[in-house]
Amino acid sequence: MTLTTLLLIIGSISTVITLIIVFLLKAHKNILVSFLQNFCGVLFIFSGWVKAIDPLGTAYKMEQYFDEFKTTFEGTWFSFIAPMFPVLSDQSIVFSVFMIVFEIVLGIMLVIGLKRKWTSWAFLILVAFFTFLTGFTYLTGYVPEGKNFFQFSEWAAYNANNMKVTDCGCFGDFIKLVPKTSFFKDIFLLFPAILFVSKFDKMHDLFNNKIKWGITILSTIGLLIYCFSNYSWDIPGTDFRPFKIGTDVMAQRELEIDAMSNVQIVAWKLKNREDGKIVELPYEVYMSQLQNYPKEEWEIIEQVKTEPTIKATKISEMEFTHLVDQYDITDELLEEDKASLMIVSHKLYMKVNQATRMVKDTSYLIDTVLIMNDGTETQEIVKTINEISEKEQRYYEYSWDKEFIEEYKNKIAPMVNKAKADGITTRIAIGGADPDAIAAFSREAGLENAVFLTADDILLKTIVRSNPGTLVWKKGKILHKWHINKLPSYDEIKNNFMK
């Protein structure tokens, strides 16, 4: 579905609601204001709902924003703000659930007309916040690599590759909007937001206060429970991501890679190093006139390419690396005829402290001696201890989150060991950790003999919304996946998926 189609559907629904209010309920004061109330309310309800299906997705998106804000504000006059963003990042799921529930409830309040003045201001503030997020992300496209956002004099021609956050997450994974589209969408919403603040007395008001408050309170409670059920207790019931259950990942990966290989360069954008002039040349023209655009005078800003026939997803980027042997195991995983298990943890929940300890350091003397044996002279190397001393050694201590490590000890390790005894391949994919941390974790969790893989943490977050999460692969397909709290017994998995 495209944004245009979605807006047409929302517009149609809003029109029907407006006609009911005007002709049946006769509760309107201004038809245009009532329509905009309904349109904005339904839009917020829908955009919040598709995010409520996957609150972790919004939390991950907010982490990206907070990381980018931290980097941006560091080294500027506003550097004192930077330390708060890692704190916000740590609480991103709380922020996510609050924003999702607030967005939907605000949409409901708009439609029913509860606390019209307060709702109008709340809507304006929320839209302004969204506009700031999407506007900042979009404008980073003008900031060249290595430059800070606030170095306005260094801004160059727009290049989408400069953006660190490539989509706004406004509609979760249901519709992916580029920041530019999201920014102009939010700019548009500022107009009705300002109208509501100035004309809140013209907004319609449905039902009595008891009914309106009842709807709002019950909606808030129900939405909180629904959000928790989609990340804390289970994985989302509806999956808009590319790694949904039943997906033939191998086939889709081949299609995406083929589509990208057929992308063609149709033009080149060049910038004159002296006067900053930008030109866009068709591919054939540029190739035939290379001598007119020497690299000393012109720099390439961007290659203008055709759109791939199939949009690339994380599937085409997926890569799993064997921790010990350091080879890409992705193809081997996707081509296996037998079902296999994969445990996914995009992050190891731990604290790392640097400590010191005293260790014995032995130095040796090496000498060559002549030995006579049956009249034959031979040389042997003799190593003798010269000195034994103690020296200080630095090392890292890992402190593991208790609940996280207990889940591995009590649920994952027994399953991995049983699968190994039955000859079922089991791999543990870890993101965002170095080999030493993974080795320490494997010892602590009782998984010293397990096969560990490393992968991009964003890839692992996309595959399953649980840390840890479990998947069953077969012939490149995802047969099933589970949240750690919904993980069935090993025997159930074996009987249902390993035949």
Q: Give the pLDDT confidence score for residue 346 in this predicted structure.
A: 95
Is pLDDT above 80 for 200? yes
Strands 426-431 and 451-455: parallel
Q: Give the pLDDT confidence score for residue 77 in this predicted structure.
A: 83
User: Among 72-81, 151-160, 266-275, 362-371, which stretch is predicted with the lowest mean pLDDT?
Assistant: 362-371
Tally Cβ neighbours within 10 Å of residue 73: 20
Q: Give the pLDDT confidence score for residue 155 in this predicted structure.
A: 87
Stretch 172-183: mean pLDDT: 86
Q: Give the pLDDT confidence score for residue 45 in this predicted structure.
A: 97
Is pLDDT above 90 for 377? no
Radius of gyration of the chain (CA): 30
What is the 3-state secondary structure of 167-209? CCCCECCCECCCHHHHHHHHHHHHHHHHHHHHCHHHCCCCCCH
Rounded to an integer, what distance in angstroms lies between the CA atom of residue 387 and that of residue 361?
8
**pLDDT tens-digit map of 414-454:** 999 999 999 999 999 999 888 999 999 999 999 988 999 99
Percentage of residues in the chain having pLDDT higher than 70 = 97
pLDDT band at 498 (very low <50, low <70, confident <90, very high): confident
Phi/psi for 238 (5° steps) reads -115, 130
CA atoms within 13 A on the CB side of 320: 22
Is pLDDT above 70 for 178? yes
Stretch 347-352: mean pLDDT: 90
Q: Give the pLDDT confidence score for residue 169 in this predicted structure.
A: 79
**Which helix (H) or strand (E) segment is 343 a member of?**
strand 340-345
Which one-letter DSSP state was computed for residue 308?
A: P
Q: Give the pLDDT confidence score for residue 375 in this predicted structure.
A: 65
Stretch 263-281: mean pLDDT: 87
Rounded to an integer, what distance in angstroms lies between the CA atom of residue 118 and that of residue 203?
12
Q: Are 274 and 129 in contact (CB under 8 A)?
A: no
Comparison of pLDDT for 32 and 387, the residue scoring more: 32
User: What one-character-per-residue DSSP string does 250-284 give?
Assistant: HHHHHHHHHHHHT--EEEEEEEETTT--EEEEEHH
**pLDDT tens-digit map of 219-242:** 999 999 999 999 999 999 899 999
**pLDDT tens-digit map of 89-147:** 889 999 999 999 999 999 999 999 999 999 999 999 999 999 998 898 889 888 888 88
Q: Give the pLDDT confidence score for residue 422 in this predicted structure.
A: 93
Rounded to an integer, what distance in angstroms lies between the CA atom of residue 339 and that of residue 479?
9
Comparison of pLDDT for 236 and 376, the residue scoring more: 236
Q: Give the pLDDT confidence score for residue 291 in this predicted structure.
A: 85
Q: Are 404 and 363 in contact (CB under 8 A)?
A: no
Average per-residue pLDDT for the chain: 90
pLDDT band at 292 (very low <50, low <70, confident <90, very high): confident
Q: Report CA-CA distances (Å) from 178 to 47, 256, 405.
A: 15, 19, 38
Percentage of residues in the chain having pLDDT higher than 90 = 58
pLDDT band at 56 (very low <50, low <70, confident <90, very high): very high
Is pLDDT above 70 for 372? no
Is pLDDT above 80 for 363? no
Q: Give the pLDDT confidence score for residue 246 in this predicted structure.
A: 94
Q: Give the pLDDT confidence score for residue 124 in this predicted structure.
A: 97
Which one-letter DSSP state was computed for residue 81?
A: G
Is pLDDT above 90 for 171? no
